[in-house]
């Protein structure tokens, strides 16, 4: 494990889509909205319309039931559903995610190898953030597959949050 610090000043166009609008998604949104991304570049899909409305009203993000409106626009897709819902979620996402989209999973117990079978040409990250992320004090441990992982994620998040990488 080592600390990731990037000194290069580079700007990247980043748009983030979340599949699942629970507490962890909300914590990440709190931490990145305004500090890292404008609300207009954050999208959320949740299966409950009431939750979508809450997230839209509270954070001014684009939250909808279903991901069809944003799946082709995002270059970082964060899968944040309950483990019991992952099979159905991955079945819906299969063949709809662009090849240039990085897949980041925070689903407990979901291995990179499983995601690689469904998204064989995408960069994949498995991460375990904590909710202190919402106030910029969190720590996220993550591991990546061997694809050409785009380092914009590391660079951008390292500026705002302590980030530790395992390979």
pLDDT for 45 equals: 97
- Given a contact cutoff of 8 angstroms between Cβ atoms, the answer to whether 2 and 142 are in contact is no
Structural domain includes residue 53? yes
Structural domain includes residue 4? no
**What percent of the chain has pLDDT above 90?**
54
Using the predicted structure, report yes or no on whether residue 158 has a pLDDT greater than 60: no
Q: How confident is the model at residue 67 (pLDDT cuts 50, 70, 90)?
A: very high
pLDDT for 134 equals: 54
- Per-residue pLDDT tens over the stretch 23-42: 989 988 988 888 778 999 99
Whole-structure pTM value: 0.81
Structural domain includes residue 5? no
SS3 call for 2:
strand
Structural domain includes residue 34? yes
Domain count, the chain: 1
- Which domain range does residue 125 map to? 12-165
């Amino acid at each position: 494990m080592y600390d990731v610090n990037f000194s290069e000043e580079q700007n990247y166009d980043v748009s983030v889509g979340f599949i699942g609008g629970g507490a962890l998604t909300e914590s990440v949104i709190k931490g990145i909205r305004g500090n890292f991304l404008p609300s207009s570049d954050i999208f959320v899909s949740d299966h409950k319309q009431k939750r979508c409305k809450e997230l839209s009203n509270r954070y001014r993000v684009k939250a909808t039931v279903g991901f069809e409106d944003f799946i082709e626009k995002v270059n970082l897709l964060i899968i944040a559903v309950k483990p019991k819902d992952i099979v159905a979620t991955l079945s819906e996402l299969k063949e709809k995610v662009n090849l240039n989209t990085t897949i980041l999973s925070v689903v407990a117990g979901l291995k990179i190898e499983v995601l690689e079978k469904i998204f064989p040409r995408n960069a994949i990250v498995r991460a375990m953030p904590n909710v202190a992320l919402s106030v910029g004090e969190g720590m996220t441990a993550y591991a990546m597959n061997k694809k050409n992982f785009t380092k914009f994620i590391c660079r951008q998040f390292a500026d705002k949050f302590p980030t530790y990488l395992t390979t």
